[in-house]
């Protein structure tokens, strides 16, 4: 009787056998996945060192025209559409003839005796900057500006569609310096703010010859902020000693784990004030008519208020500006796209799958709770 109780049944043996095989298969799959990931990561690292970005050009005038024609083809009758297309074709021929005549008339001879035609139409290059705290878009921005300056004629202009709440001083200082290259090269620079250009974002905007903003775009925040938590009292309660050694009185003014002193705080505040003064000086240099002390309080304003204060030059959106420009200019979007390594693409896909799985699990869980 006791032997029957101790010995496993046939069903239990079969279950243990199948479970063992399952664990073995699972372990094999896990090892295979790890090996595949290792290969992908090593390949991705090689790609990252080799692959660089590429400049992508989009003719915004043609894009707007295509959208217009798509709508017209739906809302107009066949006869109306045919008449309109014929009219546009005739107009295009006239413009091409006028352009050819203008090119012949404007041909100039340089010192070498070679003739070079001037561009008939001005070009507007459109660049986008969507800033984060680290202004990580600076790498793409510098490539885009370099590409534009390498091909632009003196008559050409640049429009930067700017969106940034600000961030690190040195990073946004570099971004503003990149924009200064456009002005230094003699090209008109317009910056359009549809949503926000605050703090470091406004540091970039003030470089422009002309700043436009949407009515409710957030503008300003000309100030400097720094904050740091301190865990020193928590460490003392846990009887944890923290040591930090420096050479130089102000190598480290405030610390997260050590005991901060009034001497260090005063120096830290002094450095913030000096940074603020540099910020104000930079803005005053680029927009001398602005009452800097009135606006450099760290406050922000909406577009219509910013116009009254002189922070911007007019109220408009980037879309209106581009649409108007297409009437007498060739408008091109310039974007430097960095090819993402396979590891990054895989990571994004895995994150998406995980998010969808968790969301479905939550939904099913909530539904099961409702039906109980």
Residues 275 and 346 both lie in one domain: no
* 87 within some domain: no
Owning domain of residue 135 = 53-80+119-221+299-359
199 noted as active-site residue: yes
- pLDDT of 142 over the 80 cut: yes
SS3 154: coil
Angle at 233 between CA 228 and CA 238, to 5 degrees: 125
Residues 68 and 197 both lie in one domain: yes
Residues 255 and 347 both lie in one domain: no
Residues 284 and 352 both lie in one domain: no
* 367 within some domain: no
Residues 217 and 230 both lie in one domain: no
CA atoms within 13 A on the CB side of 281: 7
251 DSSP 8-state letter:
S
For residue range 82-122, what is the model confidence (pLDDT) as tens digits? 777 777 777 777 766 666 666 566 555 444 444 444 445 79
Q: Six-digit token pair at 42?
A: 């090593």
Amino acid 37: pLDDT: 67
* 64 within some domain: yes
**Mean pLDDT along residues 127-135:** 94
SS3 334: strand
As for how many domains the chain has, the answer is: 2
* 33 within some domain: no
Q: Residue 135: left if φ>0, alpha if ψ -120 to 50, beta else—which one?
A: left
Residues 275 and 128 both lie in one domain: no
Q: Six-digit token pair at 113?
A: 């005796």
* 151 within some domain: yes
CATH number at residue 161: 3.90.226.10
Residues 214 and 229 both lie in one domain: no
Place of tokens 């243990």: 16
* Nearest-angstrom CA–CA distance, 59 and 57: 7
- Beta strand spans in the chain (E): 54-59, 108-109, 115-116, 122-130, 157-164, 188-198, 210-213, 218-220, 300-302, 314-315, 329-337
Catalytic residue among 104, 111, 115, 251: 251
Mean pLDDT of all residues in the chain? Answer: 82
Amino acid 119: pLDDT: 47
Residues 175 and 271 both lie in one domain: no
Residues 127 and 255 both lie in one domain: no
For residue range 252-276, what is the model confidence (pLDDT) as tens digits? 888 888 888 898 899 999 999 999 9
In a 10 Å sphere around its CB, with 0-12 CB exposed, 13-18 middle and 19+ buried, how is residue 192 labelled? buried
Residues 183 and 278 both lie in one domain: no
Strand 54-59 to 329-337 pairing: antiparallel
pTM check: above 0.85: no
Residues 124 and 205 both lie in one domain: yes
* 142 within some domain: yes
Catalytic residue among 199, 221, 318, 333: 199
CA distances from residue 44 to 32, 136, 264, 354 in whole angstroms, order as listed: 18, 21, 45, 22
Decide which of 118 and 360 is more confident: 360
333 noted as active-site residue: no
* 315 within some domain: yes
Helical segments of 152-302, H only: 169-184, 200-205, 232-237, 262-286, 292-295
* 18 within some domain: no
Q: What percent of the chain has pLDDT over 90?
A: 48
Crossing angle for the helix pair 169-184 and 138-151, to the nearest 10 degrees: 10
Residues 70 and 172 both lie in one domain: yes
């Amino acid at each position: 009787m006791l032997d029957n109780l101790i010995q496993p049944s046939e069903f239990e043996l079969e279950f243990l056998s199948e479970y063992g095989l399952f664990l073995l298969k699972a372990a094999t799959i896990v090892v295979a996945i790890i090996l595949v990931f290792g290969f992908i990561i090593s390949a991705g690292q090689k790609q990252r060192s080799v692959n660089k970005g590429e400049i992508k050009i989009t003719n915004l005038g043609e894009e707007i025209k295509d959208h217009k024609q798509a709508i017209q083809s739906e809302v107009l009758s066949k006869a109306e559409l045919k008449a309109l297309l014929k009219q546009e074709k005739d107009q295009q021929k006239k413009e091409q003839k006028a352009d050819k005549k203008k090119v012949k008339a404007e041909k100039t001879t340089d010192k070498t005796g070679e003739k070079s035609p001037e561009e008939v139409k001005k070009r507007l290059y459109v660049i986008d900057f969507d800033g984060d705290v680290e202004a990580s878009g600076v790498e793409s921005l510098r490539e885009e500006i370099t590409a534009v300056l390498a091909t632009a004629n003196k008559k050409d202009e640049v429009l930067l569609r700017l969106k940034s709440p600000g961030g690190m001083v040195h990073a946004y200082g570099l971004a503003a310096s990149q924009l200064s290259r456009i002005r230094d090269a003699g090209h008109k620079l317009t910056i359009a703010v549809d949503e926000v250009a605050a703090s470091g974002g406004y540091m970039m905007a003030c470089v422009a010859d002309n700043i436009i903003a949407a009515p409710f775009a957030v503008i300003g925040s000309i100030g400097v902020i720094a904050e740091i938590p301190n865990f020193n009292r928590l460490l003392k309660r846990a009887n944890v000693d923290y040591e930090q050694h420096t050479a130089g009185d102000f190598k480290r003014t405030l610390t997260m784990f050590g005991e901060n002193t009034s001497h260090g705080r005063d120096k830290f505040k002094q450095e913030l004030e000096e940074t603020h003064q540099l910020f104000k000086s930079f803005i005053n240099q680029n927009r001398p008519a602005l009452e800097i002390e009135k606006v450099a309080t760290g406050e922000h304003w909406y577009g219509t208020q910013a116009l009254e204060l002189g922070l911007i030059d007019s109220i408009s959106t980037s879309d209106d500006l581009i649409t108007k420009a297409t009437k007498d200019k060739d408008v091109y979007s310039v974007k430097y796209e960095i090819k993402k390594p396979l590891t990054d693409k895989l990571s994004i896909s895995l994150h998406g799958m995980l998010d969808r799985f968790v969301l479905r699990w939550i939904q099913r869980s909530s539904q099961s709770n409702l039906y109980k």
